[in-house]
Structure 1
Amino acid sequence: METITTPSGIEIAFDRYVGGDAGTVILIGGAFSFRKFPKMVELAERLANEYRLTVINYDRRGRGDSSDSPGVYNVDNEIDDIAALVDAVGGSAALFGWSAGAGLALLAAASGRIPGITRVVAFEPPFVVDHENFVPPADLDVTLHALIAADRRSEVVRFYMTKGMGMPRAFAAIMRFTPMWKDLLATSSASAHDWAIMGPYMRGAALDAADWAGVTVPTLVMSGEKSGALLRTGARAIAAALPNARHRELAKLSHNPNIAIMAPAAGEFLTGTAEYADWAPSTTERA
């Protein structure tokens, strides 16, 4: 484990996987994710070993071995954390974001505050752009922040899963009997950071391309053919709103992805191999 301290005093913990000379990518997890989550570790290992990338797999603030800013939930702070990581690895890096982490990666690129971002991969950012499936309550943060402040972690997990992510109540109830329940509890308070990122874009309204005009670097938006309609619709919508993006829908992939399927699509794009050697935006592709 390595650490850096951001200008605001947050300690960010990360693991560095050195694969070769193909560049650096920073992995950004989503809700309830942390750097030791097995699929994040597998993704980091595959991108390093098979695509010669140096991979930075970090704990976002409030997770794992990173510190937090309790009661302060602002996406700009997390963009500052990413900026500090980019500086720490030499000033240049691509971003790979998963779920809410994909939303954060896109917002970081759109901000214009991190000129060293070279490319972005966004896997199923949970944009809610219509009322066809699920729309979280607009005041979700009021209840969420109160539960976090009271340290009612089990309730935080159930509330965010059902009201913030649209999971069926029965599924959320079953989670407490799984081995991952302790990890969900440990990262529960960080869900407020995820809502700060995604909340404004989960209102059931179309995305405004002007909000994303700053994402000028090549961007690959990925979704899984087996994922729900909400996530697939959101992926297509953000790809269409970005000025320099492609969307790929991968067969046999879901929001709980098979890394052996996901990693090649991401690795080929991040290293500019094969079809990505001569980059040009295009419409949805299926693979």
Structure 2
Amino acid sequence: MPKNNTSPAPSLHQVKSADDTEISFERSGQGPTVVLVAQALSDLRDNRRLGALLADSCTVVNYDRRGRGNSGDAGAWSVAREVEDIEALVDAHGGTAVLFGASSGAVLALDAATALSEKIVGLIAYEPPVIVDDRRTPVPRDLAERLEELLRDGRASDAVREFNRVALGAPALMIWAMRAMVGPWRTMVAMAPTTVYDTRLCMGLQDGKPLSTDRWKALRAPSLVLVGSKSEPFMQSGTRELAALTDAGHETIDGAHHATPMMKPAALIPALRSFLSAAQA
């Protein structure tokens, strides 16, 4: 997963989460706050280009999720801890925010918007990786345990490979190409424990069955679910079902695919600006 470092890096800041874990973030721009929630095996560098495009009209908070980059990783992981991290960031920037999350980051953003209903005033979810039918092989329920075993055995590189192969559905040739990019691969291996976090975060959403209404039934924030026109069929059906379940808008971004927020974020900007304008109004 190549890192996007072409935009100048804003200054780095820290905020303490509820369990005293230090969460690092970059802040740029002025205006209503938008918090960028990164996808699996990514740190804040991957969202810098997107953040730079939004910073002319928003205060963009781009952070390292716990266990990544310069953020800490204290105690046992849980979804609640990651939601508390987002709450600390929102509280440090006026107490309300719009969330943008991609892939597993979109799942976390959905959870945070549901839990923090008074503080999250809008939600944009780009391709949360839900599997609701037979268009893709379900993710095995024991994947997190398999990844933990590899990590206990000191096989972090193998854990990253297995996560890419099983959870992300990456073909062998793609994984070989990723491993050939030594720097980016080492960065992902350093974040290998977070593969367990994202696997557990998405558990119950990737079984190839219709989604339950329970997880996000308390979601109140205006929401938009996005999918790329070039993304896999399971993403098309999954995002449509999710949007219907959460009473969210649904939009297809022409020419986009799963990596577009990192690789070509300008393609998302018209949809994001339209939603943010409505949320601000």
Tell me if both proteins adopt one fold, taking TM over 0.5 as the criterion. yes
Deviation at 1:185, TM superposition (A): 1.5
1:61 equivalent in structure 2: 66
Q: 2:204 corresponds to which letter in structure 1?
A: P
2:4 equivalent in structure 1: none
What whole-Å deviation, never above 9, does each CA across 1:212-232 have from its counterpart, x for those lacking one? Answer: 221111101000001111222
Query: For 2:20 and 2:270, how far apart are their aligned partners in 1?
Result: 36
2:44 equivalent in structure 1: 35
Deviation at 1:210, TM superposition (A): 3.6
Deviation at 1:199, TM superposition (A): 1.6
Question: How many correspondences in the alignment?
Answer: 266
After TM superposition, the score normalised by the length of structure 2 is 0.90
1:260 equivalent in structure 2: 266
Q: In the alignment, is the contact (CA less than 8 A) between 2:228 and 2:257 conserved in 1? A: yes
1:281 equivalent in structure 2: none
Deviation at 1:27, TM superposition (A): 0.2
After TM superposition, the score normalised by the length of structure 1 is 0.88
4 and 268 in structure 1: CA distance in 2 versus 1, 3 angstrom threshold: same
* Corresponding position: 1:232 with 2:236: yes
* Corresponding position: 1:157 with 2:160: yes
Q: In the alignment, is the contact (CA less than 8 A) between 2:37 and 2:105 conserved in 1? A: yes
Q: What pairs up with 1:1-287 in 2 under 5 angstroms?
A: 1-18=12-29, 20-21=30-31, 23-37=32-46, 40-49=47-56, 52-69=57-74, 72-111=76-115, 113-178=116-181, 179-243=183-247, 245-257=248-260, 258-272=264-278
Q: Unpaired runs of 5+ in structure 1?
A: 278-287
Deviation at 1:173, TM superposition (A): 2.2
82 and 32 in structure 1: CA distance in 2 versus 1, 3 angstrom threshold: same
Q: 2:160 corresponds to which letter in structure 1?
A: V
Deviation at 1:181, TM superposition (A): 1.5
150 and 10 in structure 1: CA distance in 2 versus 1, 3 angstrom threshold: farther
Query: For 1:189 and 1:92, how far apart are their aligned partners in 2?
Result: 30
Q: In the alignment, is the contact (CA less than 8 A) between 1:224 and 1:254 conserved in 2? A: yes
What SS does structure 1 have at the residue aligned with 2:45?
A: coil
Q: Unpaired runs of 5+ in structure 2?
A: 1-11
Query: For 2:195 and 2:93, how far apart are their aligned partners in 1?
Result: 27
Deviation at 1:114, TM superposition (A): 4.9
Deviation at 1:132, TM superposition (A): 2.5
Query: For 2:110 and 2:242, how far apart are their aligned partners in 1?
Result: 10
* Sequence identity (%): 35
Q: Moved runs in structure 1, 4+ residues, more than 6 A?
A: none
Query: For 2:52 and 2:212, how far apart are their aligned partners in 1?
Result: 36
What whole-Å deviation, never above 9, does each CA across 1:232-275 have from its counterpart, x for those lacking one? Answer: 221111101003x10000111011112111122112211228xx
